[in-house]
Structure 1
Amino acid sequence: MADELNGVSPAQPDKADVLKDTPPPGRKKRRSVRRKLLYGLGGLVLVCCLLVGLGALRLWLSPLSVSSLLTQIEEAVVDQLPAGQMLDIEDAQISLSESGSLALRLSGVKLSEGGVTTSVCAADRSGDRAV
């Protein structure tokens, strides 16, 4: 009853108790920024895993044509060939091999030296074996 005479109702907590429970003004903001950063990084990791999984599924279903990279592939191989030999590739595909590793499949491969041309029907180079 003495509290009611002083103008404080018994249901209201003391100001000292309220101040003990509230964090300093800057600390709450730092937690919020950390939480947002962690959620953002978690979302980024989830999106990356989803993209890798979808890419693996795409390769598992059918090969992926990389015809746009034919000039780079030919240049890399020609650098390894002896002088005077030329290489021509019709198509290149990336696929999954039987063991699950990536494989580069070349079709329409022609090797020329002087006037002699040798044709290879298909070439396969995977991480575990060469055919």
Structure 2
Amino acid sequence: MLDTTYLKDLLQTIGNSRYEGIDTGKLVDASLGQDFDDADFLKFKYHMDEMWQAGLVRGRDGPGKNGWGYQGSAPRIMLVPIPLVLSPVGSELLAELQKPKGLERFKQAIRSVGATAGTEALKYGIGELLERTA
């Protein structure tokens, strides 16, 4: 389940890195700290997967073969150090989410496309939100 506040916080952390990008490992540290459990990491991974697939974040140096930097499956996972930046749509979404009623409007936009599942709902919700504010 998408936690819009968590998504906003991840976008903000990545956005704070500006054009240099934030290394995948540093993003994990900033988001989860040093002592996190599997459930915390799975929540992080879920949101990163959704943001990557929705085109909100990308590798600073191009798409690459490692996506946002996660490889493998438990218990053998590896984080590839990729500098991540916000895409133009990710930057625009973050700007909208920072407005006083931005998170609530974003939740409403996602609900308005409720028949669509998964990443597609996120993409359409973002489009709906940005269209309303244009």
TM-score by length of 1: 0.24
Q: Which has the higher contact order (CA 8 A, sep 6+)?
A: 2
Considering fraction of residues, name the structure with more helix. 2
Q: Which has the larger radius of gyration?
A: 1
TM-score, structure 2 length as denominator? 0.24
Q: Which has the higher strand share?
A: 1
